[in-house]
Every structure is written in C-alpha cells, then in structure tokens.
Amino acid sequence: MKFKEQMGELRRHLMTGVSYMIPVVVAGGLLISIAVIIGGTGVWDQKGTTLATSLRDIGLTGLQLIVPVIACFIAYSIADRAAIAPALICGMLAFKLGTGFIGGIVVGLLVGYLVEWLKQIKVRASLMPLLAILIIPVFSSLVIGLLLIFVIGTPITSLMAGITAWLNSMKGTNIVILSVILGLMMAFDMGGPINKTAYTFALASFSIQAYAVSSAVFIAISIPPLGLALATLLAPKKYTDAEKEAGKSGILMGIIGITEGAIPFAVSDPFRVIPSIMIGSGVACGLSAAFGVVNKTVMSSVMGIPFVNKPVFHIIAVLAGCLVTAILLNVLKKDIKIENDEVNTVNNTF
C-alpha cells in the first residue's frame, strides 16, 4: 500500500473514533452544564443526592468515557469486533493513568493493529472461537496494557501535561491568533478532513478543560450556513431559487450546528463562497477568544448561548461572523442576470 493510501486509511480510523466519541462528549458536557445552571458553580463541591449533583455525576461519567470510547472505535475501525474488548480495557487504563485524549488515540491504534495481526494467525477451524473469545482479547489487553504502564504511559502523560499548560497559559494575542487559524480550518472544507482536524483539536482542548480554545472552535460550526443564509436574505437578486431554498435550510442547520449546510453554495461557487465563510468564521472565533467567551459544553454557536459565561459577547461574535460572511460574499457576487449575460456573451464568441 502506498504512503498516501496508508495516510488515508489512518485518517479514516481516527475520524471513526472521533465520530463515535462526539455524542458522548455532547451528552456529558450538556448534562454538566445543566447541573451548573441548576446548582450554581458550587455544585462541584456539593455532597448528597440532589438533581444538580446527580446530573453532575452522570455528565462527569460521560466525559470520563472519552478516552476509552475513542480508543475502542479507532481499534474497531482497524480490526473490527475482535478489537473492542482490549481497546476498552486499555482505554480505561489510559484514562486512569492520565494520558488523556492522545493516550486514547495511541491505545486505539496499537490495539487495532495488534489485533489485526493476531487475526492472521492460522489455526484449525475448531480453535477459531477460542482465538476470538479468549486468546486475542487477553493477549492484546496484556501486551498493550503492560506497554502502556511501563513504556509509553509516562511520556504521553508528560506530553499531555505540557499541552495543557501551554493551552491554559495562552492569553491575549496568542489565543486570538490560534482561534482565528482554527476558525479558518473549520470553514475550509465544511465537515471534511481539515474541518475534522480542527474539531478534534478542539475536543482535545475541551477534554483537558482548555475551554478558551474549544469555545472559539465550537462557535465556528454554525457560521458558514448561517452566514450564507443571511447573504441570500440581504441580496436575493444574487442567488438562484435553489440557493435561496438552501439558505432557508441553512438557518435550521446552522442553529443545530451542521456546517455541511454550506456545501450547496460552495459547490456552485467555490471561489467566492469558501473565502467568505473562512474569513467570517475566523472573525467569529477571534472575537470569541478576545472577549473571553467560555463554553463548557460542546454545543455550537446558537445552541451554546444558554451555557456560555458571556452570552452577549458570544452573540456579538456569532453575528459578526455571519455579517462578515454575508457582506463579503455579496460584494464578490454579481446579480444573477449580470452573470447570465456574461455567460451568454462568452458562448456567442464560439
């Protein structure tokens, strides 16, 4: 297999893990946020069984599953069901060792490729159930578990501590610049590999409570579809009927946080749409970071409003990103009639 194909396979495995992990993060983060709303910031230290503390405990349990879940489904993507048990065991071990998000990824890859190799062992048909149920899960858990404890656990933990310290120390211009870059990445391919890379970085930041970075990225999820929907409302003569309908759908998709709502526009006019949504998303992320907006859930722009520490500034950042997207695109675009006339003129010359 060529290097490019290998990298494509690796990316697919990583994205599988991230895709399965996202609902866990969303559920856990949202429940914790509701607990804080009900019980106040003191809910973290409250004892006893109340609604707020119960929600807190359920949410925390969800967030503690981040590492084993991403390990499990990366390994599953590589080696199918045989990898699930050892990946869950070693993923939980990685969590307890404090290796964080990176530890989950490393465990998932190691377990997945080890199990895939073990599956190639030729045994008699009568021994196949024993191989799948006993030998592979036990041997894989033992090897990767010991490797994690005695060899790679400490370096990964140190790396995570360094990343955590670096992210939490970033303030002022540095955090704004990083947020702008991540915002540009989020909008570039609207749910593609670059978008997923930025989103994965945000989830990693969220998992270590570096909320300044994750909050800025989560705000970018909704900017492209909302900004393009606004553009169709501000200058309807520049858009086809199909694009106007896509704009209406984009409002709903933007509210619930589906960046892919921008794709119909980008397909029909990529050289104007993509720069516009990138700049708009970058502006929104930069303003969010500059304002010090913190969102301790993974809810996107509009859905995150009830859970941020500075809702007014959060809304300002969202509106600014949408306005910049809409205005820039409408400046670049021409009226439909003018564009059609230009096309006809070109056709008549041939």
- Residue 42's alpha-carbon distances to 35, 46, 51, 153, 207, in angstroms, are 10, 6, 14, 33, 21
Mean pLDDT of the chain: 87
Residue 308 main-chain phi, psi, to 5 deg = -90, 160
pLDDT mean over 90-108: 91
Band of pLDDT at residue 211, cut at 50, 70 and 90: confident
Reply yes or no on whether the pLDDT at 1 is more than 80: no
Query: Which residues, in sequence order, are bridge partners of residue 308?
Result: 295
Q: What percent of the chain has pLDDT over 90?
A: 43
The least confident of 3-12, 246-255, 325-334 is 3-12
pLDDT digits 0-9 by tens, 280-336: 999 999 999 999 998 887 777 888 888 888 999 999 999 999 999 999 999 998 887
Is pLDDT of 229 > 90? yes
Q: Hey, what are 164's tokens? A: 């955590």
Pair 325, 266: CB distance under 8 Å = no
What pLDDT is attached to residue 347?
46
Per the CB < 8 A criterion, the answer to whether 141 and 91 are in contact is no
Q: Give the model's pLDDT for residue 340.
A: 53
188-206: average pLDDT: 81
Q: Are 182 and 205 in contact (CB under 8 A)?
A: no
Q: What is the pLDDT of residues 73-83, one digit of tens each?
A: 999 999 999 99
Name the pLDDT band for 176 (thresholds 50, 70, 90). Answer: very high
Residue 305, C-beta contacts closer than 8 angstroms, at least 6 positions apart: 311, 314, 315
Residue whose entry in the numeric block shows the structure tokens 């404090």: 98
**DSSP string of 243-261, one letter each residue:** HHHHHHHHHHHHHHT-GGG
What per-residue confidence (pLDDT) applies to 296?
81
**Quick check: 325 and 284 in contact, CB under 8 A?**
no
Predicted confidence (pLDDT) per residue in 122-170, tens digit:
878 777 788 888 899 999 999 999 999 999 999 988 887 887 777 777 7
Q: How many Å apart are CA 180 and CA 287, to the nearest integer?
A: 9
The reported pTM is: 0.74
How would residue 224 be classed by pLDDT, with cut points 50, 70 and 90?
A: very high
